[in-house]
């Protein structure tokens, strides 16, 4: 449960922000879902989201989520073997609702993040490591604010486009958390550039549809100038 004095705060990198916004813009008529990668500082309760993998643009089912998490975990293991970096892990889930006016996370996203929490606590129980990934966070994109950002109708602050949620007293992920985007202006410019150049974000379902040789876009493949 969330102790108000020790509430998590979330920092997302501009690449992650750009990926989430571009993923939503690539599939404007459906809900989107993806996995968040990063690390958690237990002493400061800060969750640093450094990478993200888009998963689907539909309502995900158990086999899809299980396979996606297995692939992401395997990718992390590969990176950790290569770079000898053991800090990054799955820290949460992101989603954008299907309808323009919807602001709350849907029941599917809430079930997925609860499943992530259960899996993470099982791993922590069995792991001998002293570090833990803690409770996952849920990021929800605000479609209306994002439309204003892409239309450049008013000065939109990037951190207003995304709302972070943590676990509340009812054990649901409906407790709003503080969120900042590092390099806000860079993030906004990157999103506008991606949208204007009509760059498509290939999520896992797109990657499977187009064949094994196609790309599975992740935040680390997006460059912020």
Residue 6, judged by CB atoms within 10 A of its CB (0-12, 13-18, 19+), counts as exposed
Position of tokens 């992401």?
Answer: 72
Whose Cβ is closer to other proteins: residue 43's or residue 82's?
Answer: 82
Whose Cβ is closer to other proteins: residue 144's or residue 152's?
Answer: 144
Q: Packing angle between helix 107-126 and helix 62-83, nearest 10 degrees?
A: 50
Distance of closest approach, residue 61 Cβ to other proteins, in angstroms: 4
Distance of closest approach, residue 80 Cβ to other proteins, in angstroms: 12
Q: How far is CA 210 from the centre of its chain?
A: 23
Token pair, residue 112, equals 């997925």
Whose Cβ is closer to other proteins: residue 44's or residue 61's?
Answer: 61
Distance of closest approach, residue 86 Cβ to other proteins, in angstroms: 16
Whose Cβ is closer to other proteins: residue 177's or residue 204's?
Answer: 204
Distance of closest approach, residue 82 Cβ to other proteins, in angstroms: 9
Distance of closest approach, residue 183 Cβ to other proteins, in angstroms: 27
Residue 101, judged by CB atoms within 10 A of its CB (0-12, 13-18, 19+), counts as exposed
Whose Cβ is closer to other proteins: residue 17's or residue 216's?
Answer: 216
Q: How far is CA 36 from CA 12, 65, 152, 219, in A?
A: 10, 13, 27, 10
Tell me how many degrees the CA angle 164-95-135 measures, rounded to the nearest 5. 50
Residue numbers at the binding site for other proteins (CB under 8 A): 31, 58-59, 61-64, 66-67, 70-71, 74-75, 77-78, 98-104, 106-108, 111, 205, 208-209, 211-213, 216
């Amino acid at each position: 449960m969330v102790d108000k004095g020790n509430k998590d705060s979330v920092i997302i990198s501009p690449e992650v922000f750009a990926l989430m916004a571009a993923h939503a813009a690539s599939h404007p008529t459906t809900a989107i879902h993806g996995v968040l990668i990063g690390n958690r500082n237990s002493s400061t309760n800060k969750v640093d989201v450094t990478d993200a993998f888009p998963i689907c643009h539909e309502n995900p089912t158990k086999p899809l989520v299980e396979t996606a998490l297995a692939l992401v975990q395997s990718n992390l293991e590969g990176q950790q073997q290569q770079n000898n970096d053991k800090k990054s892990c799955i820290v949460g889930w992101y989603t954008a609702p299907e309808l323009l006016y919807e602001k709350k996370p849907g029941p599917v996203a809430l079930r997925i993040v609860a499943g992530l929490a259960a899996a993470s606590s099982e791993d922590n129980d069995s792991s001998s490591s002293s570090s833990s990934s803690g409770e996952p966070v849920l990021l929800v994109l605000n479609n209306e604010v994002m439309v204003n950002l892409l239309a450049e109708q008013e000065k939109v602050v990037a951190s207003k486009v995304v709302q972070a949620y943590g676990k509340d007293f009812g054990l649901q992920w409906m407790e709003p958390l503080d969120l900042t985007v590092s390099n806000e202006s860079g993030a906004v410019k990157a999103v506008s550039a991606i949208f204007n150049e009509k760059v498509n974000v290939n999520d896992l379902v797109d990657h499977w549809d187009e064949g094994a040789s196609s790309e599975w876009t992740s935040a680390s493949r997006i460059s912020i100038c």
